[in-house]
Chains A and B, each alone.
Chain A
């Protein structure tokens, strides 16, 4: 038996006997409370202790669940009576046949952006994807051979060999992963019918996973995705990203499809590094995946705290060609604004268990909780890529998976 099993068994078997004096105390006070209540409202009844039960999120959620089940039962019956059967696979199949998708989206900060996607049915990846973000003055286009990011305010272009991370975005895969959720113990997918102001009758597909929950609206006729909202379970209502509107098979605008670099635009060097270049990385030979991730991240945090830019560049391929200001700016996102003043950014860290996510083919995801010197705690997930090059197993930090999230103080 593993030592961890002994520890968990010890916790489950941890037992303390309630002493007789506690029995007497509880009996007396419980009886007194019953009598007080029988005689009428008392000061004791105004004690705040009840919120211990009422404020329990489990009880609240259980209550909410009962309501949802009742509602869904009704809707489901309506569904059975009035419409044809629907399976998530219908939407996956329909999305695999589209030529283009045009999405109007909102990110977690409420910023609007627009996407054009041209999937390749053979590869499952995108032949073309663009992000037009007016509020960030940015137009990004990615194709299998070359990608570019055009800063409209600075009139500068950064070319990148190959596709950028967002190019792996695939609507069919997103919906497919929802269908997979039905097989997971802690995930659930509820399919109902809804009448919406915008689209009339839709199929609503509500997904609840371990970290995120989302609701997709499906066109009952074409089975295509009409909209998708993804929220964080831990903070209901906090939208991580939403595809507010999706249109299909429109022609991609010519100026996006065939980008013409303005003559006077400044050309910036490639930003994305080569993740499998042997000049980057840390030796993790003989270590398990979790051990390797821990070693790499400890090295990362050590380099951050030592303000050692060379060690950071060695560990993060995308930073390999960055200048100092650019690297400092990137690390500040993790370690805080004071980092460049040679104040150690990370006071303590917790490294969680690594896990794989189909949406991130670049590496394994490792959630961490970082505490800065002001006691603020951030949750951030790193993408760690482990590779075998020239017979040696090494690993690098690809980037962060999403942004750092400030935890409640």
Chain B
């Protein structure tokens, strides 16, 4: 298997297969990150698509510094933030989120792609404010330190700490059914 750097070199030389191999390698992970951030399959797919098309368009300017997986995850996070901001999407109600997920996973194959736990988590994440949700996802899905997240969110570390703690508490309560769960279980 070729290394990430070898694939980057390949696509920078003009070979689309290098970029498509990177896509194949990380597509599920990146789509999961996007899905957790926007709680909407259509927008998550758009974000992932846009990131890779952008890479293709500007491949000659791309210089890999550090870990490719983390770099792509941050790019996806930035893209989802742009999408949410542009479309003025606000936190969806759990029922809507669940319905949206269900509608986008209409085929049996796609339904199987999203486990029950993931559906519950997505519905709970959808109820969190965007900033808190982003901190939790970047921390636990992308393994980024809070300090790095503070830089991404362009805010103080204490704010990120607060968002993290508050988001985690709320999410825990939602997942344990301690808060009103409009999904009706």
Contact = CB atoms under 8 A, between A and B. Distances in A.
27 contacts: A8-B140, A13-B117, A14-B118, A14-B121, A16-B32, A16-B35, A16-B114, A16-B118, A17-B110, A18-B48, A19-B45, A25-B45, A26-B20, A29-B49, A30-B16, A30-B19, A30-B56, A53-B51, A53-B71, A53-B75, A56-B74, A234-B150, A234-B151, A234-B154, A234-B155, A352-B161, A367-B162
A14 B71 CA distance: 19
Interface in A35-94: 36-38, 44-45, 47, 49-50, 52-59, 61-63, 66
Interface residues of B, number: 75
Interface string A1-36: 001101110111111111100110111011101101
B32 A22 contact: no
Contacts of B164: 352-353
Contacts of A50: 54, 57-58, 61
Interface stretch (B1-9, B91-99, B171-179): B171-179
B145 A186 contact: yes
Interface string A342-360: 0000000011110100000
A10 B121 contact: yes
Contacts of B103: none
Contacts of A26: 20, 23, 27, 48-49, 52-53
B147 interface: yes
Contact of B31 (A22, A31, A33): A22
Contacts of B117: 10, 13
A369 interface: yes
Interface string B42-81: 0011001111111111111110011000110011001100
A211 B158 contact: yes
A: contact size bracket: 35 or more
Contacts of A52: 50-51, 54, 75, 78-79, 82
Given A14-B118, A38-B14, A61-B151, A45 B57 contact: yes
Contact of A15 (B23, B28, B58): B28
B62 A53 contact: yes
A8 B167 CA distance: 11
A407 B57 contact: no
Given A54-B61, A211-B158, A4 B79 contact: no
B89 interface: no
A381 interface: yes
Nearest to B156: A234
Interface of B: 14, 16, 19-20, 23, 27-29, 31-32, 35-36, 41, 44-45, 48-62, 65-66, 70-71, 74-75, 78-79, 82, 110, 113-114, 117-118, 121-122, 136-137, 139-141, 145-148, 150-152, 154-159, 161-166, 168, 171-172, 175-176
Contacts of A233: 147, 150-151, 156-157
A3 B124 CA distance: 15
A353 B165 contact: yes
B71 A367 contact: no
A124 B71 CA distance: 46
